[in-house]
Amino acid sequence: MTTRIATLNIRHGGRKSGDALASRLLGYGADILVVTEFRANDVGARLIAHLANAGYATSQPDASPKHNSVLIASRRGIDRSWAFDSDGLDPRHLWCAEIDGVILCGVYMPQRTAKLPYWEALIAGARRDGVDLLIGDFNTGNNDLDKDPKGAKFIGPEMPGRLTASGYSDVWRSLHPGVREYSWFSRPGDNGFRLDYVFAVPDLAQQVSACMFDHAPRITGETDHSGLVASLGWKR
């Protein structure tokens, strides 16, 4: 059974392009969607309604309408959902769901040094807690291929490597070794950065048949991020 998973950062809850972003997300034909910078406001409610009409069950943390968080949507239903056990960190940044026996964590990392405790929590506990997939906006990469050489250096550039060392595969990078491709560009400067990821445990990573960026939502101005879409055989 092939599963299609997509993630997209909709920028401040999609307040300027809500309906276009809803169409974009539905257009992926994904079984599972992870929407980052989701906000539980009127725009967010319309997005959930669009998804529900298309057959998606949804789950998100309890967060203020003014705060960015994560929305998980699944056409296969959601067996349960919960905040990642992150020792008092804000649950809106790491939200988990179990779908058909697979546990995924939707990730929206904070900015600058505020993200580091969340990275540490995932590195220390995600494999221990049985999380199979980590998907979303990680707001960090390494200072080599994951950024334009002219761009500012990442804070915490060692974090993705430490996460993979804990037992995960960077799915896009495993399929595109040595490639520079970016999901967000700075303003001003127009320097590219890879911020959006799918990390998978080895048995799932081996079943990935495709993982690619969709730059259309960023190029059209619907949001400031590119989407990331992966297809994998869901055999557990």
- Nearest CA among 45, 34, 42 for reference residue 10: 34
What does pTM read for this prediction?
0.97
Beta bridge partners of 58: 73
pLDDT, one tens digit per residue, over 171-203 is 999 999 999 999 999 998 999 999 999 999 999
Task: Give the separation between CA 172 and CA 148, rounded to whole angstroms.
Answer: 17
- Nearest CA among 179, 29, 231, 200 for reference residue 103: 200
Q: Tally the residues of the chain.
A: 236
Q: Is 47 within 8 Å of 21 (Cβ atoms)?
A: yes
Task: Give the separation between CA 100 and CA 176, rounded to whole angstroms.
Answer: 28
Task: Give the separation between CA 134 and CA 115, rounded to whole angstroms.
Answer: 15
208-214 sheet: strands from edge to edge:
57-59, 69-74, 32-38, 2-9, 227-233, 208-214
Which of the four pLDDT bands, split at 50, 70 and 90, describes residue 236?
low
Pairing assessment for the beta strands 2-9 and 32-38 based on DSSP bridges = parallel
Determine the average pLDDT of the residues in 32-42. Answer: 98
User: Does the pLDDT at position 235 exceed 70?
Assistant: no
Classified as helix, coil or strand, 137 is strand
Kindly report the average pLDDT of the chain as a whole number. 96
Which of the four pLDDT bands, split at 50, 70 and 90, describes residue 234?
confident
Determine what percent of the chain is predicted with pLDDT higher than 70. Answer: 99
Specify the pLDDT at position 176: 98
CATH code of the region 2-231: 3.60.10.10
Specify the pLDDT at position 148: 97
Specify the pLDDT at position 9: 98
Specify the pLDDT at position 70: 98
Domain ranges of the chain: 2-231
pLDDT, one tens digit per residue, over 12-29 is 999 989 999 999 999 999
**Which H or E element spans position 71?**
strand 69-74
Classified as helix, coil or strand, 199 is strand
Classified as helix, coil or strand, 228 is strand
Determine what percent of the chain is predicted with pLDDT higher than 90. Answer: 95
